[in-house]
Structure 1
Amino acid sequence: MQLIKIFLYILPSILTSSSLQSNIKKSTVLVCYGKVKPESIKGYSYVILESLNYSSKEIKIIKSQNSKVFAYISLGEVNIHAPHYKMLKKHTLGKNQNWDSYYLNLKSNKTQETLLSIVDETLSKGFDGLFLDNIDNFTIFGPQKEQKKDLINVLKKIKEIYPKKEFIQNAGLDLIPETASYINAIVVESVASGYIFKDKSYNLRNNSEFNNQLIRLNSIRESTKIPIILIEYADSKKLFNQIIERIEPSKFDYFIGNIDLQSIPKFKE
């Protein structure tokens, strides 16, 4: 389960551009599911947002200040606070106790129709594309591994309907051979860093884990020509700089932020 999804439906916090700290290098990617003033989102290669927090007018402003702007959508689960939860409650396959969400049944026509309707509504706001979460649920060790073909079918439908839009796959690297035709970038979380929920601590991954994952990602980038985006977590300037030192040689685009994902990141001394 990816760290990203838990924070989508928390009450957004409203912040200004003062959250940016001029004495620390800015990430090339912004992932933010809280409500932020559109004018404060500037200069990113990729911006990933919760669409419910923004109007079409606001998305237009954000697009004018950044390269590409994407909206979050989960193709694998539905949170109990999501607007479409009631519509899909009877089309789920059990609960993810860790994240208070339910696994979607993609074999259900109702589920597919609802997801496509959400895609239509979201993209009508003017987003450049979608950030597709929970793709790892459909890998061989995932809770929805039996629905892999159904996931691929949904991706194919979305791409056919919106051939000019772009789509970012979050995790699920084992599926890349089958999803590559429908995506434009791949996100991988916590390659250089980690977060332990039990004691709420940020840390660096050990060198062996980091290097092995980097080798795999470089191989995927080379074979598919699909851009790789890293999402890392830090709470201090020291850890931020340690992560930068690790990942900058890779030339991947990256986001380094706080675990709550509710604001433009800031870091303590």
Structure 2
Amino acid sequence: MQHIKLFLCVLPSLLGFQAFAGSLQKPNVFFCYGKLNPIEIKGYDYVILESKHYNPSDIKKVKKLNGKVLAYISLGEVNSQSKHFNKLKDITLGKNENWDSYYLDLKSDSTSQVLFTEIDRMLADGYDGLFLDNIDNFTSFGFQKDQQSEVVGFIEKLNAKYPQHFILQNAGIELIDATHNFVDGVVVESVASNYTFPDNSYKLRDEKEYNEYLKKLNQLRKKYKFPIILVEYADSLALYNDIKKRISKTNFLYFIGSIDLQKFPLFND
């Protein structure tokens, strides 16, 4: 789950959102990296925000109106618009061409120091925890597959330093056996849906693939007993309804939004 310039919204049965034409059920998680009026974010169990858009006073308002409020941080990449980009840009490993972001080198002590400094700053603003993005970068087919021990070690240190904070891991289910003791939940993108970057296409995932994916996630949920949140992508009310029909019987928390959300989702056929 990457930033597209400013932001991206995603999470479990999630995101308090507006939808065109009718009575779409309001999700119970809100995940958004754009700048919003803090008092308009209300009624969610979980809220995930891009910290650069909010000050401690804003976070206090959001917390008063919601449950846990988490700050976004990527352990795999740094966006060119991030506050800490200038501190990392000279020690990155290359650019992710799908996004305006650069791959991080967790083998570098300097990278870890910058990330922990940024995390310290965000949590000092009053966030209840963190959303850790791009963990899939460290899996078998990821760009940083040779840094699996480093990312697991980083998350372990994070858990040790902030044991009372809620840590939500995005993707990287291949690493769950190693990280499950250090995180409180996992987000998985595009389970029922299947957005493809080359043609900017929104669609449903092949039914057989979907069922196999779902079976695997149910096994993980049973094994580790923590929440697994589905993040799905749609560009129309019709596709939104098709996705919701698929996953509504799974009992997974979920969010359905656009790939480049910068506000509350709005679907219009």
Q: TM-score scaled to structure 2, two decimals?
A: 0.91
- Superposed, 1:151-190 pairs within 5 Å as 151-190=151-190
SS at match of 1:156: helix
Measured after TM superposition, the shift of residue 90 of structure 1 is: 2.4
**1:27-42 aligned within 5 A:** 27-42=27-42
Distance of 2:266 and 2:250 partners within structure 1: 24
Following the alignment from structure 2 to structure 1, what is the Cα–Cα distance between the partners of residues 7 and 134?
Answer: 18
**Greater strand fraction, Structure 1 or Structure 2:** 1
Offset at 1:20? Answer: 5.7
Could you tell which deviates more after superposition, 194-203 or 43-52? 194-203
Q: Does the alignment pair 1:264 with 2:264?
A: yes
Query: Match of 2:3, SS?
Result: helix
Q: Which amino acid aligns with 1:64?
A: K
Compute the displacement of 1:122 (Å).
0.6
What CA distance in whole angstroms lies between the structure 2 residues aligned with 1:64 and 1:8? 29
Aligned-residue sequence identity (percent) comes to 50
How far apart, CA to CA, are the structure 1 residues paired with 2:214 and 2:130? 25
Q: Distance in 2 between matches of 1:193 and 1:18?
A: 19
Measure, in 1, the Cα distance between the counterparts of 2:19 and 2:211. Answer: 30
Cα distance in 1 between the residues matched to 2:195 and 2:17: 26
More helix by share: 1
Provide structure 1 residue ranges, at least 5 long, that are not aligned to the other structure.
12-16
1:134 correspondence with 2:134? yes
Residues 109-118 or 90-99, more deviating: 90-99
- Separation (CA, whole Å) in 2 of partners of 1:197 and 1:19: 25
Say if 1:24 and 1:237, in contact at 8 Å, map to a contact too.
Answer: no
Gaps of 5+ in 2: 9-15
Matched, 1:5 2:7: no
CA distance in 1, matches of 2:164, 2:150: 22
Which residue identity does 2:243 align to in structure 1? I
Counterparts of 1:1-269 in structure 2 under 5 Å?
4-7=1-4, 9=6, 19=18, 23-269=23-269
Q: Deviations over 1:92-124 (max 9, x none)?
A: 222222323221111111111100001000111
* DSSP 3-state at the match of 2:216: helix
For residues 258 and 96 of structure 1, the distance between their equivalents in structure 2, rounded to whole angstroms, comes to 20
Per-residue deviation, 1:262: 0.5
How many residue pairs match? The answer is 261
Is 178-187 or 64-73 further displaced after alignment?
64-73
RMSD value, Cα = 1.9
78-87 or 178-187: bigger deviation: 78-87
Q: State the distance in 2 between where 1:263 and 1:74 align.
A: 20
Q: CA deviation at 1:18?
A: 9.4
> Does the 8 Å contact 1:192/1:232 carry over to 2?
yes
Name the SS for the 2:179 alignment partner. helix
CA deviations over 1:8-59 (Å, ceiling 9, x no partner)? 5369xxxxx9956562212222221111111211222221110111111111
Q: Which TM-score applies when normalising by structure 1?
A: 0.91
Contact 2:93/2:105 (CA < 8 Å) preserved in 1?
A: yes
| Contact 2:17 2:265 survives alignment (8 Å) | no
Q: Distance in 2 between matches of 1:226 and 1:35?
A: 30
Q: Indicate conservation of the 8 Å contact 1:48/1:69, yes or no.
A: yes
Partners of 2:52 and 2:19 lie apart in 1 by: 23
How far does the alpha carbon of each residue in 1:208-250 deviate from its partner, in whole angstroms, 9 at most, with x for none? 1111111000000000011100111112222111111111111
Letter in 1 for 2:145: K
Structure 2 CA distance for aligned equivalents of residues 29 and 208 of structure 1: 28
Match of 1:261, SS state, is coil
Aligned residues of 2:4 and 2:99 also touching (Cα < 8 A): no
